[in-house]
Amino acid sequence: MNKYSLIITFLVITLISSCAQKQEKTIAIGVMLTLPEDMYQQSVQLNRAILEKHPDNISLDDHHIPHITLLQCYVKESDLSKIEQALNGLYKTIENDSLWADELQYSKDKTESFASIGIKRSPSLMALHEQTITLLEPYMIPDGSQVSYVQTADGTPIDDFTLAYVPKFVSAHSYEHYNPHISLGVAKTTLLDSLAQNQFQSKKFQAAAIGVYQLGAFGTAQKRIWESE
């Protein structure tokens, strides 16, 4: 084989390798704590009360499960088996610890606000959050795209908020900035005042499992990839 043939062969191999890398799928994932039945039902009921007055909102159900996010990030689909192995056994570090849903969070000084069930930042929850980041750090990649998410049923693009939020989760929303919560939706504060007084119940509970889900619009947990036993 002469030098020109070697050069052509090298260029072909490089091109094939480059195309393969570009075609490798990147997905947006959330590592999260799933909820026991009582907290699951309270989250769904509060969400439904919001949807009655504000139907253009997230809808919590079996395809958009209520949860407590530990981490959101982009990863390569080919690394999912390694991520599952890394997380295996992590649930045992928190399965007997109590979590406390201590308030209905929203901006009381605004006419309309995003609402969530606030979860107290206990030492064990903070340690779990930080350990999750440490375990998955080798697999995180900086960039994703619209196709990294579970697509909306009506074809609406993934919202700009989610596209900006996920890649900055570690740098802007973790460690001292971590706010553990269960998302409920956006509503008038007058409605949220009523829900806080009449429907929300502060309670302690234990997480049901740790799960990895592919994210959809507004960071919803839509496609289960893995869950602890």
In this prediction, residue 147 carries a pLDDT of 96
Q: State how far the Cα of 227 lies from the Cα of 229, in Å rounded to an integer.
A: 6
Is position 95 within any domain? yes
**What gap in Å lies between CA 26 and CA 77, rounded to an integer?**
6
Confidence band of 11 (pLDDT split at 50, 70, 90) = very low
Contact 128, 91 (CB under 8 A): no
Q: Tell me which residue has tokens 């340690």.
A: 127
The tens digit of pLDDT for each residue in 175-184 reads: 999 999 999 9
CA distance 98 to 119: 11
β-bridge mates for residue 72, sequence order: 30
Give the full edge-to-edge strand order of the sheet including 112-119: 181-188, 112-119, 99-105, 203-205
* Residue 3 pLDDT class (50, 70, 90 cuts): low
pLDDT digits (tens, 9 = 90+) for 145-201: 999 999 998 899 999 999 999 999 999 999 999 999 999 999 999 999 999 999 999
The percent of residues in the chain predicted with pLDDT above 90, rounded, is 86
pLDDT band at 133 (very low <50, low <70, confident <90, very high): very high
Output the pLDDT for position 229: 81
**The residue to which tokens 């995003």 are assigned:** 114
The verdict on residue 13 lying in a domain is no
The yes-or-no verdict on residue 216 having pLDDT over 60 is yes
Kindly state the greatest CA–CA separation across the chain.
Answer: 82
Alpha-carbon distance of 43 to 67, in angstroms, equals 9
pTM of the model: 0.88
Residue 17 lies in a domain: no
Strands (E), the chain: 26-34, 67-76, 99-105, 112-119, 140-141, 181-188, 203-205, 209-215, 221-227
Distance CA 165, CA 184 (A): 17
State the pLDDT at residue 209.
98
Summarize pLDDT for 87-131 with one digit per residue, the tens: 999 999 999 999 999 999 999 999 999 999 999 999 999 999 999
The total of structural domains in the chain comes to 1
Per-residue pLDDT tens for 33-55?
Answer: 999 999 999 999 999 999 999 99
Q: In the prediction, which pLDDT does 145 show?
A: 95
Which residues lie closer than 8 Å to 154 by C-beta, 6 or more apart?
A: none
210 within some domain: yes
- Tell me whether residue 85 is in a domain: yes
pLDDT-based confidence at residue 63 (cuts at 50, 70, 90): confident
CATH number at 69 reads 3.90.1140.10
User: Residue 6: inside a domain, yes or no?
Assistant: no
Which residues on neighbouring strands pair with residue 99, listed in sequence order? 205
Q: How many residues does the chain have?
A: 229
At 23, the pLDDT band (50, 70, 90 cuts) reads low
Residue 180, amino acid: P
Give the span between the Cα atoms of 124 and 131, in whole angstroms: 10
Tell me which residue range forms the domain holding 202.
27-227
Residue 81 falls inside a structural domain = yes
- Taking residues 68-77, report their average pLDDT: 98
pLDDT value at position 14?
Answer: 44
Tokens of 100: 């406390």
pLDDT at residue 17 tops 60: no
What is the phi-psi region of residue 66: left when phi exceeds 0, alpha when psi lies from -120 to 50, beta otherwise? beta
